[in-house]
Structure 1
């Protein structure tokens, strides 16, 4: 993944520096409004990363020590970590093979009376079935937190991922389709929840530093609860506003490149590429292929020898030393052991794709 950054982003960052307001300020507020509108949410709360956003989201929905939070093992480890930050126990669920996402059935298989929340991931930009999962979690009386780290620009049932979500967390890491360097966002529909999230990201203060500095009269702040330093800077937000204006074009380009990969890979035995689910579209933040009869590690080595920087498939948290757990997650293990991620970025050319697929064709 190569971030798509240019002179416009550089100028926006420079203007923020020249303004003298480089910490959380007016550009952060503008980015919050613009991003939440783009994904169909009522409120946006900018944070320092998607991980910190997930942590705050779990606090906001009431997760406490002793609770269980269902998470996919097939995800970057931050998904499980955010539950641990709250003193809760992450409970690993399997995913479906086609999308890499949780389903109602895989959640229900590990649900217990201690389940307080589910973190469902729109894996690598592939949307999960939002209507089914939202409906099921409401019936069960458990909170659904949407990990939309990779999903800016993806859609589900004709709406942007994030529209209709009670709470969702987003990432602007350089490996994502749009970036602010580091940084994240939490989107919510409840104004009271948004207000609390803003307090929590800023040490639990009842008034933001920006509001205090903008006031003509001294304001003596108070600290309503234990909070965190999870703020985004105005420099990051300035870059984010430019990136957001590019989002539709970036997604269109990625989908065009993905469509060409599909054409080139058609008919190659033992290679199944990721595709749109029936109910939505993916931004193709990552383009993975599932291998059958082809050794994934050999494929990575052969691609590297040919000058191609491919990556292993998405990690499985439950086999990592931090979380090693004896659970049976067959689809998770199949995907993490037998899939690889092919290069897909704005500088990728047709000849690059021809070369990459040529190596895969020889392997097959």
Structure 2
């Protein structure tokens, strides 16, 4: 099962409304992507038609990267648009020397198991091996102190580590400065997987990668952006996502074809036009959920520093699967966004890992509720009230 709990949709009812007749079981969808309309895209598409420039670092991509640089409070030479965030993570690792590290007996990359599987895939595609680590109970994050303790406590594995990948969960912020200090102390490059962190992320002294997938708050369908630690690192990544080709058409390090096309940039520019409106809507919906669920014993609503495109609740016990099934029976779709933890996936089962009791508890007790701009206030109330009603006693 991929984490979705669904039931048949009653097509006679609006797709995002809860039927008052529960026997019909109209599905309140857990997510509904929203990209810019065709009308908003049209001026940018006409610009592409006029320029005949469709990809390979075109003018719209340059314009989009400048706009993103303003948002992330960095200079444009530190921003690289990419085809997807997974490729951006791999490019960051490659730019930090992952190929040489693997050849020199340091093939391990530390990362949390409590993350999307794409994080681990990016590590593998950069030629490294994941070493899965535990996260903190209170903030669901990997800290520099936790990694430092691991390196000291596991000298054999620690000597084989070349990189660290940190995940910012569900719109949260990972402060970059402590990780820069860690990187300087241990000589290990750090990359922040801030896939859902568009809202509050600001450029810092370590690489960060944001997803622009359709499921994110600033979605373009497929895409991502790397905010590099400095301009030199961004230049390396920019070459790597164009096969490794430099401006002189020389490949010094083999990369990948992970460019962001002019069409992706066009959608991104149009999405930025409606960003403030979208942010306000999602912020209001989150606040309504928080008010509706306030006071429920043992139930906690994930409250990231920034606006996210997901609404995560932690249940009083490890009953995510059972509760999801009960919600679906009442017409409320849910999702376990990060499934069961990366280490439980067959493709990653053989890789080294710490004991992961917190990760496994989170995986079994965290559930995503319906959360998107198509929801009416009554839909939020129905989802929250139904959750209260179906929680196992």
Which TM class, normalised by the smaller chain length?
0.7 to 0.9
Deviating above 6 A after TM superposition, structure 1's stretches of 4 or more consecutive aligned residues are: none
1:323 aligns with 2:369: no
Could you list the runs of 5+ residues in structure 2 that have no partner in the other structure? 1-30, 152-157
Whole-angstrom CA distance in 2 between matches of 1:106 and 1:250: 36
- Kept in 1, the 8 Å contact 2:110–2:131? The answer is yes
Distance 1:193 1:128, change over 3 A: closer
Q: Give, in angstroms, the shift of residue 17 of structure 1.
A: 4.9
Q: Give, in angstroms, the shift of residue 170 of structure 1.
A: 1.5
1:125 aligns with 2:171: yes
1:40 aligns with 2:65: no
1:3 is matched with which residue: 33, 36, 41? 33
TM-score of the aligned structures, taking structure 2 as reference length: 0.81
- Kept in 1, the 8 Å contact 2:315–2:365? The answer is yes
2:55 is matched with which residue: 23, 33, 44? 23
Whole-angstrom CA distance in 2 between matches of 1:197 and 1:62: 11
Q: Give, in angstroms, the shift of residue 32 of structure 1.
A: 1.2
1:181 is matched with which residue: 216, 221, 228? 221
Q: Give, in angstroms, the shift of residue 52 of structure 1.
A: 0.5
2:185 is matched with which residue: 116, 139, 150? 139
**What RMSD in Å do the two structures reach over aligned CA positions?**
2.0
Q: Secondary structure in 2 aligned to 1:206?
A: coil
Distance 1:294 1:79, change over 3 A: closer
Counterpart in the other structure of 2:5: none
Encode CA deviations 1:10-29: one digit per residue, 9 max, x unaligned: 32453255333222311111
Counterpart in the other structure of 2:244: 204
Counterpart in the other structure of 1:80: 120
2:260 is matched with which residue: 209, 228, 232? 232
Distance 1:79 1:330, change over 3 A: same
Encode CA deviations 1:5-50: one digit per residue, 9 max, x unaligned: 2244432453255333222311111111211221123321111110
- Kept in 2, the 8 Å contact 1:272–1:291? The answer is yes
Whole-angstrom CA distance in 1 between matches of 2:82 and 2:337: 28
Number of equivalenced pairs = 342
Counterpart in the other structure of 1:346: 373
Distance 1:136 1:3, change over 3 A: same
Distance 1:122 1:363, change over 3 A: same
Distance 1:101 1:170, change over 3 A: same
Q: Secondary structure in 2 aligned to 1:110?
A: helix
Could you list the runs of 5+ residues in structure 1 that have no partner in the other structure? 155-160, 208-219
Q: Secondary structure in 1 aligned to 2:226?
A: strand
Counterpart in the other structure of 1:260: 288
Q: Secondary structure in 1 aligned to 2:290?
A: helix
Counterpart in the other structure of 1:303: 327
Q: Give, in angstroms, the shift of residue 362 of structure 1.
A: 0.8
Q: Secondary structure in 2 aligned to 1:168?
A: strand
- Kept in 2, the 8 Å contact 1:294–1:363? The answer is no
Counterpart in the other structure of 2:302: 274
Q: Give, in angstroms, the shift of residue 268 of structure 1.
A: 1.2
Whole-angstrom CA distance in 2 between matches of 1:91 and 1:124: 22
- Kept in 1, the 8 Å contact 2:310–2:368? The answer is yes
